[in-house]
Amino acid sequence: MRSLARGLTTVDILIVIAASGILLLLTVPRFVDAMWGARTWTATTDAETLQKVIDLYKAQHGERDPYLNHRGEPDPDRFVARLTGRTDRTGRITARGDLGPYLEQWPANIACTAASRQTIVAFGTGPAPCDGRTGWYYNTRTGKIYANTPGAAGAEDGSTQAPRRSPHRKTAE
């Protein structure tokens, strides 16, 4: 009696490789979308938290915007410091201030395309550019903060909605 044991042929190996490739083609885009969705969900949640922090700051400082210094002048360079440090009721940053800190650390927008700019805040009076050049965008006219994420929706309607799909994925238009 002869043994039926024999090795795999080249055709068998090619079939296994082709099947594995097809499975990868089907699963990788879904994985990338899920990963991007988690990043944008985090950015959206962080933007909502930042808005609550800004609103609390305003309530405790007589509706003074954290964008303004203690003299009421625009001071974007100290915006984050006013929310992560201690201030007095006028918004002056001081270690002996009776208000704050509102955040231990300024969050990084991990959906921002430039890792070195994830914590930077851009300022303006129009809609958020949603270009990913900075992590956050603060509208000084409305007092709203947005995740400055590529493809982000809602910059004009006041929401903090982040994009639903990865900007790296091609979609039919």
Question: Got the DSSP string for 122-160?
Answer: EEESS----SSSSSEEEETTTTEEEE--TT---TTTT--
- Inside any domain, residue 62: yes
| pLDDT tier for residue 159 given thresholds of 50, 70 and 90 | very low
- Inside any domain, residue 45: yes
Tens digits of per-residue pLDDT, 19-34? 999 888 888 888 777 7
Number of helices (H) and strands (E) in the chain: give both, helices first: 2, 3
Q: Which domain holds residue 114?
A: 11-147
Q: How many domains does the chain have?
A: 1
- Inside any domain, residue 167: no
- Inside any domain, residue 38: yes
Which residues neighbour 162 within 8 Å (Cβ) at sequence distance 6 or greater? 40, 41, 43, 44, 47, 111, 147, 149, 152, 153
CA torsion through residues 151, 113, 48, 99, sign: negative
Give me the pLDDT at residue 150, please.
Answer: 75
- Inside any domain, residue 159: no
Name residue 87's beta-bridge partners. Answer: 93, 99
- Inside any domain, residue 111: yes
**This prediction's pTM:** 0.74
Mean predicted confidence (pLDDT) in 44-53: 95
- Inside any domain, residue 49: yes
Tens digits of per-residue pLDDT, 113-154? 777 889 999 999 998 888 888 999 999 999 999 999 876 554
- Inside any domain, residue 171: no
